[in-house]
């Protein structure tokens, strides 16, 4: 009998599930990528990323090309239709020199002379300077009273028709008056205790050439001669009168000096002052304290011109300052210094006044209708630039090269339309005339714009 063997039951091993079979489909047209060292395994993660990036790049390029293809026609139309047309170019005409010339102003051969017109700074004419035209400072005689009056009015302004402060004649004023009488200088009588207003003192000084009133005026205004001289020096510097200096209020001293170009401007300031101007244009102010104040400046050789100052001293000889308005409306101021005698001055003033009318007459430098240039467009049209009115100058005719043309930018224009001005300056006087289009410049139309993109592009960007 066989011995029986016990049956031992062993636990069963858990069965591992088989890995699922992954089948990768190959997309048509795309070969399977194999990573290095992976044999025939399908794509790795890096390969998939590269593939996606490649596809996105291609898609972006395609979108960009499509966008440009859509926008390019619109952009082309925008730069050819929307901008303004190119501005017409300007070709100026070559004008001939005019043979018209104004006669020169007659100026005396002796001493110094200077003439200015209106408010200009340049001299219209001068004589007696050095080779460069500069003047030496020489005694100005009674014209110094213009300075004392202007400096006083600067410190104590007074409107035309007003009298100003009333001043009592002091013992000092009376003593100064007696000294001047004894010296044979021109005076107007005063008495101690009498009263003179600021206006009356200025009138006596300028109209009746009263030396004692010039002194009395500045003593009242500034407290004394020394104080006046200090104030006058500051005023002269402020006004730019570098060639002028004063040593007294009346001009009797030879150290009161000026130049023709300074004195003519001082005379212009005096004539333009409301109070002084009203006095110079009058016959006088009548009697003051029994003294007659008449305008002794009135000078027959000056004709209709206003005599701003006329005097004689041993140091300065004869000095005259004139202001006149010509038939053309021009205001001239003239100063003549160191003329040898009253007869010589009379002849010089007469000649000057007679020549001034002709020398300042209006001259038609260019007649109406003169062709001064041409407008030329990029599309081939041309039209003349013509004067719509005469170019009228005073005192001379400008050379063609001295005429400036201030013209507008023109693209299209109708006949007769204003396109600018012709401007000429002669002796500090500016004249202008209207410049018009002599014909029509029309729009070239859509076809020209579309066929000339570069011209339109240049116009769009200011080219």
Q: What is the pLDDT of residue 25?
A: 52
Confidence of residue 37 (pLDDT cuts 50, 70, 90): very low
Whose tokens are 């201030």? That residue is 406
Residue 209: is its pLDDT beyond 90?
yes
Rounded to an integer, what distance in angstroms lies between the CA atom of residue 281 and that of residue 207? Answer: 10
Rounded to an integer, what distance in angstroms lies between the CA atom of residue 450 and that of residue 428? Answer: 51
Q: At what angle do helices 198-206 and 211-222 cross, to 10 degrees?
A: 140
Q: What is the pLDDT of residue 7?
A: 44
Arithmetic mean of pLDDT, 11-27:
52
- The answer to whether 236 and 147 are in contact (CB under 8 A) is yes
432: exposed, middle or buried (Cβ count in 10 Å: 0-12, 13-18, 19+): middle
Confidence of residue 78 (pLDDT cuts 50, 70, 90): low
Q: What is the pLDDT of residue 328?
A: 72
Domain boundary assignment for the chain: 89-101+365-460, 112-360
Residue 395: is its pLDDT beyond 80?
no
Rounded to an integer, what distance in angstroms lies between the CA atom of residue 309 and that of residue 267? Answer: 8
Retrieve residue 348's tokens.
Answer: 């010089």
Residue 1: is its pLDDT beyond 50?
no
CA 428 to chain centre: 12
Strands 89-92 and 371-376: antiparallel
Query: What are phi and psi for residue 126, nearest 5 degrees?
Result: -160, 160
Looking at the chain, the number of H-run helices and the number of E-run strands are: 11, 19
Residue 22: is its pLDDT beyond 60?
no
Rounded to an integer, what distance in angstroms lies between the CA atom of residue 269 and that of residue 250? Answer: 18
- What's 88's DSSP letter? P
Q: What is the pLDDT of residue 85?
A: 81
- The answer to whether 135 and 350 are in contact (CB under 8 A) is no
Arithmetic mean of pLDDT, 333-360:
90
Residue 35: is its pLDDT beyond 50?
no
Confidence of residue 48 (pLDDT cuts 50, 70, 90): low
Closest of 214, 196, 210 to residue 152, by C-alpha: 214
Residue 8: is its pLDDT beyond 60?
no
CATH (one of 3.40.710.10, 3.40.47.10, 3.30.565.10, 3.50.50.60) for 112-360: 3.40.710.10
Region at 280 (left for phi over 0; alpha for psi -120 to 50; beta for the rest): alpha
Q: What is the pLDDT of residue 83?
A: 64
SS3 403: strand
Arithmetic mean of pLDDT, 41-58:
61
> Is the pTM of the predicted complex or chain greater than 0.85?
no
Residue 36: is its pLDDT beyond 90?
no
Residue 123: is its pLDDT beyond 80?
yes
More confident residue, 118 or 389: 389
3-state helix, strand, coil in the chain (%, to 5): 35, 25, 45
End-to-end CA distance of the chain: 127
Q: What is the pLDDT of residue 4?
A: 47
Q: What is the pLDDT of residue 81?
A: 58
Rounded to an integer, what distance in angstroms lies between the CA atom of residue 175 and that of residue 420? Answer: 68
Rounded to an integer, what distance in angstroms lies between the CA atom of residue 357 and that of residue 328? Answer: 8
Confidence of residue 322 (pLDDT cuts 50, 70, 90): very high
Percentage of the chain beyond pLDDT 70 is: 79
**How does the average pLDDT of the chain come out, rounded?**
83
More confident residue, 222 or 399: 222
- What's 411's DSSP letter? S
Confidence of residue 97 (pLDDT cuts 50, 70, 90): low
Q: What is the pLDDT of residue 450?
A: 75
Rounded to an integer, what distance in angstroms lies between the CA atom of residue 315 and that of residue 326? Answer: 33
Q: What is the pLDDT of residue 142?
A: 96
Contacts of 117 (CB under 8 A, 6+ apart): 124, 330, 331, 332, 360, 395, 427, 428, 429
Query: What distances in angstroms separate CA 96 from CA 111, 375, 404, one per listed residue?
Result: 39, 20, 15
Rounded to an integer, what distance in angstroms lies between the CA atom of residue 294 and that of residue 300? Answer: 15
What's the per-residue H, E or C state across 2-29?
A: CCCCCCCCCCCCCCCCCCCCCCCCCCCC
Residue 358: is its pLDDT beyond 80?
no
If you average pLDDT over each of 4-8, 53-57, 60-64, 285-289, which comes out highest? 285-289
Residue 29: is its pLDDT beyond 70?
no
Retrieve residue 64's tokens.
Answer: 């960009």
């Amino acid at each position: 009998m066989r011995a029986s063997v016990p049956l031992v039951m062993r636990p069963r091993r858990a069965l591992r599930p088989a890995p699922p079979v992954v089948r990768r489909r190959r997309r048509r047209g795309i070969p399977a990528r194999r990573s290095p060292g992976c044999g025939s395994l399908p794509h790795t993660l890096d390969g998939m990323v590269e593939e996606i990036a490649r596809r996105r790049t291609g898609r972006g390029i395609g979108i960009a090309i499509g966008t440009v293809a859509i926008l390019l026609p619109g952009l082309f139309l925008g730069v050819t239709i929307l901008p303004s047309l190119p501005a017409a170019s300007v070709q100026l005409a070559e004008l001939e020199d005019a043979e018209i010339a104004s006669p020169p102003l007659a100026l005396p051969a002796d001493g110094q002379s200077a003439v200015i017109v209106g408010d200009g700074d340049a001299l219209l004419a001068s004589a007696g300077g050095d080779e460069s035209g500069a003047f030496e400072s020489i005694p100005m005689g009674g014209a110094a009273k213009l300075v004392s009056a202007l400096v006083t009015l600067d410190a104590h302004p007074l409107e035309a028709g007003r009298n100003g402060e009333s001043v009592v004649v002091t013992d000092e004023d009376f003593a100064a008056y007696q000294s001047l009488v004894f010296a044979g200088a021109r005076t107007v009588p005063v008495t101690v205790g009498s009263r003179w207003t600021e206006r009356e003192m200025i009138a006596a000084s300028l109209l009746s050439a009263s030396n004692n009133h010039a002194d009395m005026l500045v003593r009242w205004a500034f407290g004394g001669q020394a104080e006046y001289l200090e104030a006058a020096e500051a005023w002269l510097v402020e006004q730019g009168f570098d060639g002028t200096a004063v040593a007294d209020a009346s001009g009797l001293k030879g150290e009161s000096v000026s130049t023709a170009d300074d004195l003519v401007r001082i005379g212009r300031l005096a004539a333009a002052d409301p109070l002084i101007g009203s006095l110079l244009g009058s016959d006088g102010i009548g009697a003051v304290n029994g003294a007659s104040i008449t305008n002794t400046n009135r000078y027959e050789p000056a004709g209709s011109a206003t005599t701003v100052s006329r005097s004689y001293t041993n140091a300065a000889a004869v000095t005259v300052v004139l202001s006149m308005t010509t038939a053309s409306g021009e205001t001239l101021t003239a100063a003549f210094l160191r003329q040898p005698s009253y007869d010589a001055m009379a002849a010089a003033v007469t000649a000057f006044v007679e020549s001034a009318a002709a020398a300042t007459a209006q001259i038609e430098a260019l007649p109406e209708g003169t062709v001064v240039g041409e407008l030329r467009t990029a599309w081939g049209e041309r039209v003349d630039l013509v004067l719509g009115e005469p170019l009228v100058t005073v005192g001379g005719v400008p050379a063609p090269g001295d005429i400036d043309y201030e013209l507008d930018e023109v693209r299209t224009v109708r006949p007769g339309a204003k396109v600018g001005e012709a401007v000429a300056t002669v002796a500090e006087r500016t004249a202008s005339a209207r410049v018009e289009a002599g014909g029509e410049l029309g729009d070239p139309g859509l076809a020209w714009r579309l066929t000339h993109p570069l011209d339109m592009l240049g116009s769009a960007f200011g080219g």
